[in-house]
Structure 1
């Protein structure tokens, strides 16, 4: 299966999930992340504010803020660049240019290499650290200089495949993957 066909198939699979199923899976996903050593040890994390039916991290973000971790989320500032903007509350958001929730301005930003943990979404993941994003390359560019061990994929378990995902030279491999069912370490 080529990359575009695979991307469309996995987007359709995600959209077929019910809201109830997404909410149940989100609770299990966030519990698995909360239990991970990477999360426990991180002082600054980058999460994301999920699109509908995407693996939702709101409960994790609320916990991180409550325990005093610095939380950052992606903000697309151009057609090719994304920044990590500080999120101080799940209530202090607005809708960004890609119809994704983002922090209200003004917000502080942090360099990708200064983050302890980056939770990376995707359309599909393989069991060797491969990731397929939405196709615009925002995360691949953002993560280019970040050590792989700080990059953890997060997804519904139905987004994980055993066969290799088609990867380009610039695609970033991840050190781990956490789903609502399992946690995988690579390398």
Structure 2
């Protein structure tokens, strides 16, 4: 019997093929549509403090446009800082992504604690959660090594956990591991999907 990790690798491979078959112009337009839909989505519009992420995989939604548009709408933008040794997560308000983000590799990038103000986790209204693949039940495959699963487990129940992705990255079913967490809502270039 094929194990969960192998099934997840196969799903990612199939999505990579689907994405690579599209032109850059087509992908850019699809991503723009997904971001537009996010900014029409009432939960995001009403949120004052938004937790974003720094992508680690090219198939995860780039958040540069989301971040810029969030600043334009006077939202407080927060990024997580993961301490792998202590297994802790802290949240920092990022006012300027050009000077407040440190780290050279995707795995090490995060807010600079010396330049950013720490934000209590309970203040976060909405959290965008990265993913390479999602299903309609809120399952996901990501490149974050389980850090966002731990993060989602700590966020208040009232904090909406949202995946922003392309419709091409929605699959019928993702096999989940025991520690995996689910997003509440998916926003794609075609629709908004509430976890059922």
TM range (shorter): 0.7 to 0.9
Residue 3 of structure 1 and its aligned partner are, at CA, apart by: 2.4
2:176 aligns to what?
Answer: 167
Unaligned residue ranges in structure 2 (runs of 5+): 1-5
Give a deviation string over 1:62-94, Cα, whole Å, max 9, x none: 121122211012333326554332211233254
* Equivalences, count: 186
Deviation of the 1:25 alpha carbon: 2.3
Q: How far apart, CA to CA, are the structure 2 residues paired with 1:75 and 1:13?
A: 32
Of 75, 79, 82, which aligns to 1:73?
Answer: 79
CA RMSD of aligned residues (A): 2.6
The verdict on how the C-alpha distance between 1:21 and 1:91 changes in structure 2, with shifts beyond 3 A counting, is: farther
User: For the structure 1 residues 4 and 76, does the alpha-carbon distance in structure 2 shift closer, same or farther, using more than 3 Å as the test?
Assistant: same
User: For residues 127 and 41 of structure 1, do their structure 2 counterparts lie closer, same or farther at Cα, with a shift above 3 Å needed?
Assistant: same
* Aligned counterpart, 2:110: 102
SS of residue in 2 equivalent to 1:74:
strand
Q: Is the 8 A contact 2:128 2:161 kept in 1?
A: yes
**What displacement does 1:97 show?**
5.1
- The DSSP-based 3-state class of the residue aligned with 1:22 is helix
Look up the SS of the partner of 1:106 in the other structure: coil
Match of 1:25 in 2: 30
Per-residue Cα deviation, 1:19-39 (whole angstroms, up to 9, x for no partner): 433322221111000000111
Aligned counterparts of 1:40 and 1:70: Cα–Cα separation in 2:
12
1:92 aligned partner:
99
SS in 1 for 2:153: coil
Matched-pair contact (CA < 8 Å) for 1:7–1:134: no
TM, length-normalised to structure 2? 0.80
Describe the shift of the 1:76–1:138 C-alpha distance in structure 2 as closer, same or farther (beyond 3 A). same
1:148-159 paired onto structure 2 within 5 Å: 150-159=160-169
For residue 165 of structure 1, report the CA deviation from its aligned partner: 0.6
* Structure with the greater alpha carbon radius of gyration: 2
- The answer (yes or no) to whether the contact 1:148–1:173 under 8 Å persists in 2 is no
Whether 1:137 aligns to 2:146 is: yes
**Structure 2 CA distance for partners of 1:91 and 1:132, relative to 1, 3 Å:** same
Cα distance in 1 for partners of 2:179, 2:118 equals 24
Contact 1:92 1:103 in 2 (8 A): no
- Following the alignment from structure 1 to structure 2, what is the Cα–Cα distance between the partners of residues 186 and 85? 28
